[in-house]
Every structure is written in C-alpha cells, then in structure tokens.
Chain A
Amino acid sequence: MAALGAAARAIQAGRCRVALIIHAGLPRQGVGLRGAPPSPMLPFEAAHGSTLIAQYALVARRHMYEYGTTREDLAHIKVAAAYHASFNPNALLRNRVTVEEVLESPPIAEPLHRLDCCVTTDGGGALVVVSEEIAASLGRPCPGILAEATTVRHWNNGKVDLTVTGAARTGPEAFAAAGLTPGDIDYVSLYDSFTITVLTALEDLGFCAKGEGGRFVRDGALHAPHGRLPFNTDGGGLANNHPDRRGGMIRAIEAVRQLRGEAHPELQVPDCEFALVHGSGFSLGNRASAATAILCRGM
C-alpha cells in the first residue's frame, strides 16, 4: 500500500507515466518469507515463547482492559468478512459464520481464537498507476489517489502503548491532505491479519473515538452494501486470501472495484465516491509500518 504513494509521486515528478505495483506470495507451497525479520527486540521475545499471533493477542487484551472491548465485539468483524467472502468464488473460506462460532473456535493465543485469525493462502495482485493524461485516454473510469501517508511504530524505549497503532498518525495526515473527514468515506479496505487489527485501525483512522471500536462494529456496521461503513467486500484476509505478508494488495484492488462500481452486485456500495485503504505490517503496537491511502471515483 505504501507503494501507491511512491508510484504517485514518481508520476507527479515526471519520472515516469506508468507504474506497476506487484505483490505475490506462495506461502502454502512453503515458498517465501519464513521466520521473523531481524530486530533488536527478537532475543527478548524469543526467550519467552512469543509468536506473531501472541503479539496481536497482547494488543487485544490491553484493549479489552482499557476500553471494555469484548471477544463478541471482535467476532462481529469476522462475521462481516465471512459474509462478504460468501459472494467471492475465489475466496478460501466461503462459509458464513456466526458470532457464536467465532467464540467457540479453538484458542490460539487468548483472547484471539482461530476465527479471529486471517487465512494463509497463495496469491497475488497488481496495480497499475498512470498519469492523468494516460488515465483520460483509457476510456473507462480510473479512480484517483487523493492522499497517502505512511509511518512506523516501534517499541519506544520500552514505553509501549499497545492499543495505539500507526493509523493514529497516517489517518489524520491522509484526511487533512485529501480535505475530507471520515464521514465522507463510503467504503474501506482495511488490512485484517486479525480481528483486533481492524478494530484498532477503525479507531485510529478516526471512524470512531478511541475505545469505541467495539461498539462501532456491532449491528452489521461493516456489512455491505448498507452498513454504516462497509469493509473488505472481497472477504479480506480473514476469509478470502492473505499471501504471507502481502495481504494489502487485494484489499487495494477491491477498493478500486468499489469505486468503479464493479464489486459483486450484492455488495456494491451505492454511489461509492470515496474509499480509504489502510494497511499495517508486522507486529501491531510494538514495531509496525502503516500506510493509508484515500481514493476517489474516477471521471
């Protein structure tokens, strides 16, 4: 997702007119990025049996402590993703699930259970970013990139604040640059390695107040086409696909489909004018990158 901004800036600067962004992975075939990337924190995590999922579980537990968020709240996120995936013939998991099924799935790292976790799939995707001149010559609507922001989070010299993510920085920055507010957004594609990844992103991007994410996602808020904020209509990483560390690509492509009116007819958001795409990487709250892009419908 961060590559979107790099491509847009290269085109704006006249260094190129067409940029191709590709992401693909074959983790189910055992090909790819295995093992944790190097970090000064690794020895202090490995000595205690930390896992990637456990790191997200620690965020979830802290969020529950600070804000009263529940496992049921998190489950609503999976329920929405699974509903959307049921319309996607290419999704790995096409079965709809209930809140109860999420709660009763086996624990992985509590409070996260199996159905709070993304799938692992092979897969990939590509985005073509072009200059306005070329876009005008293509004869079909080309969504535009209004704004983009990136940042990193780290362990902050041992003063961790697990519930705050990079989105707290990229969200406001991207909205300010686009001249929009969260209320203007019709559809969001959010990287969803785990249910808690989505909940914290919704809060930090400003779709609700910090700590209100649990209440925000209830009552079908994330369901397309008529929820308050339809998300990940491809089914997301929670149900559709997640090729190792490249889960953001398909989310960005789905946002383009929504803005073009080419999403599944049952899930197409009516009059979709503005979409937000957000990705985070690595270990939420402790060391992570984050990127946000705001896209608009093309002419």
Chain B
Amino acid sequence: MSTLPKVAVDVTPESRAFWDGLARGELVVTWCEVCDGHVWPPRDRCPACLGGPTTTRVLSGEGTLYSYTVVHRPDPAFAEAVPYVLGYVSLDGGPTIMANVAGVPFDRLEVGMRLRLRTPEGGTDGPVGGAVFEPVPGEGAGA
C-alpha cells in the first residue's frame, strides 16, 4: 500500500477538535457530561438526552478492529493508494469509527485485532486526513 492521501475534509465547528486531535496523534471525541458518554459524529448536543453543549474527551487512541475491507476499486481521491484497508475501529471507551489500517499484511488482518492510532509524522497544525491505525505491538486478536 502506498501512502494514504490527505483529503480536504469539511471541518465544522463541532468536528474541529476531532480533526485537530488527529494531527497531534490524539483521538478527541465529543462527550455528553449528562449521559457521561461519547457523541458521534461530533455535535454540540447529545442525540440521546438533547443536552448540551457537549465537551470533548481525549481517548487512549487504542481500539479493536470491528470490520475491514481491502479496497481495490477506490474513491477517486484514493486512486494512488490502492489497495488500501478501510475499517471500523471500536475505540476503547468510545464510538466505533471508520478509519484506515496500515502496517499489517493483508493476510494478517483479523477482526478483533488490537489497534492504536498512528501518530502522524511531524504533526501539522490542521486536519491531516483520516485516522490511521496500526497494530498494537505484541497484542493479537482481542475481544
């Protein structure tokens, strides 16, 4: 897999903390203090209790692979990256979000494997593209 592209995303006031967090290598999700739970996608009110404004919380950045696909016919923006891995990652203490997975041979991918957010090289001041996860060293399939 070649390098994943950085797609210009439509950053909203609600989602800025999430994208800025990725640029630092952190997973920041919006949080409902009333329900004491995550709010996904980021928004300023809780879809469960309608309370707000929501706050944010920094998660550990680790999670479990919920499902994955190796994409051969890509979104045009990802044409140079095929084949690439798209997946859902169930974040520890947070939502299940879409992400890319890197650093694993395709035949070693496994639902349930433990992953952690990859820290972007050098870091940037703004959105860096998507969340890219890599295996947690020394940990196989989990839950």
Which of A12-20, A88-96, A154-162 lies on the face that meets chain B?
Answer: A154-162
- From A41, A53, A155, A157, B73 is in contact (CB under 8 Å) with A53
Task: Indicate if the CB atoms of A108 and B86 lie closer than 8 Å.
Answer: no
> In the complex where A44-B41, A107-B70 touch, is A157 in contact with B47 (Cβ < 8 A)?
yes
A61 in contact with B69 (CB, 8 Å): yes
B21 at the binding interface (Cβ < 8 Å): no
Q: How long is the Cα–Cα vector from A109 to B87 in the complex, in angstroms?
A: 11
Q: Which residues of A contact B131 (CB under 8 A)?
A: 47-48
- Give how many B residues have a beta carbon under 8 Å from the other chain's beta carbons: 45
- Given the known interface contacts A44-B41, A49-B78, A58-B87, the answer about A158 and B71 at a Cβ–Cβ threshold of 8 Å is no
Given A65-B112, A160-B88, A48 and B98 touching (CB < 8 A)?
yes
Instruction: Give A192 to B6 CA distance when docked, in angstroms.
Output: 33
Contacting pair A44 B98 (CB below 8 A): yes
Q: Which of A50, A62, A112 contacts B98 (CB 8 A)?
A: A50
Contact indicator B69/A49 (Cβ below 8 Å)? no
B97 touches A158 (CB 8 A): yes
The answer to whether B69 touches A58 (Cβ under 8 A) is: yes
Interface residues of A (CB under 8 A from B): 40-51, 53-54, 57-59, 61-62, 65, 106-112, 155, 157-160, 162
Q: Which applies to chain A's interface (DSSP): helix, strand, loop or mixed? A: mixed
Contacts known (A157-B48, A160-B66); A40 close to B43, Cβ less than 8 A = yes
Could you show 10 A-B contacts with beta carbons less than 8 Å apart? A40-B41, A41-B41, A46-B77, A48-B130, A49-B7, A49-B84, A58-B69, A157-B38, A157-B40, A158-B41
Q: Please determine whether B69 and A46 come into contact, CB atoms closer than 8 angstroms.
A: no
B115 to chain A, nearest CB (A): 14
Select B88's contact among A46, A107, A109, A162, beta carbons within 8 Å.
A162
Q: Indicate if the CB atoms of A45 and B96 lie closer than 8 Å.
A: no
Q: Out of B4, B38, B75, B96, which one reaches A160, CB within 8 Å? A: B96
**A155 and B96 alpha carbons, distance in the complex (Å):** 9
Q: Does B74 contact A (CB under 8 A)?
A: yes
